[in-house]
Amino acid sequence: MASKSRDAPIRLAPNTSLAEWIVAILSAMLVLAVVGFLIYDGLRSPEAPPEITVEVDSIQAAGPGYLVLFRAINGGNATAAEVVVEGGLEADGGEVERSEAVLDYVPPNALVRGGLYFERDPRRLKLKLRVHGYRDP
């Protein structure tokens, strides 16, 4: 004896409207575009270390000392964490003062600002800034 479910006619889904087809096609194109971009970006940018440079923005008096505002620019394609920026003041006899700042995170192709405090006026001495180190996040 045959069951009732086998004898029942099969119902087809209602017709899909034109708007639903357009949304489905646009969604599929968007997903494919994102996947394609991620593949392209992964192949285009090889793993290279961060390229961090430090530039002075301004020097100003700050309480009993002086503040050197700087910007750290990462021109590379890799992120740097715990970036150590070191500043030194030099006179004729050598280095007279040193200051250090740690930047938590410097993303690729980005700029991060920071500051270094000194007791002596950096405008009257030779100021040198450099990146001392970083770690991979």
Average per-residue pLDDT in the chain?
A: 88
For residue 6, what pLDDT is reported? 62
Tokens of 1: 């004896």
CATH 2.60.40.1620 assigned to 52-135: yes
CB-based contacts of 88, cutoff 8 Å, min separation 6: 95, 97, 98, 99, 127, 128
**pTM tops 0.75:** no
- For the chain, state the CA radius of gyration: 30
- What is the rounded average pLDDT of the residues 38-60? 85
pLDDT tens digits along 66-117: 999 999 999 988 899 999 999 999 988 888 999 999 999 999 989 999 999 9
Residue 56 has a CB neighbour count (10 Å cut-off) of 14
SS3 62: strand
CB 70 within 8 A of CB 85: yes
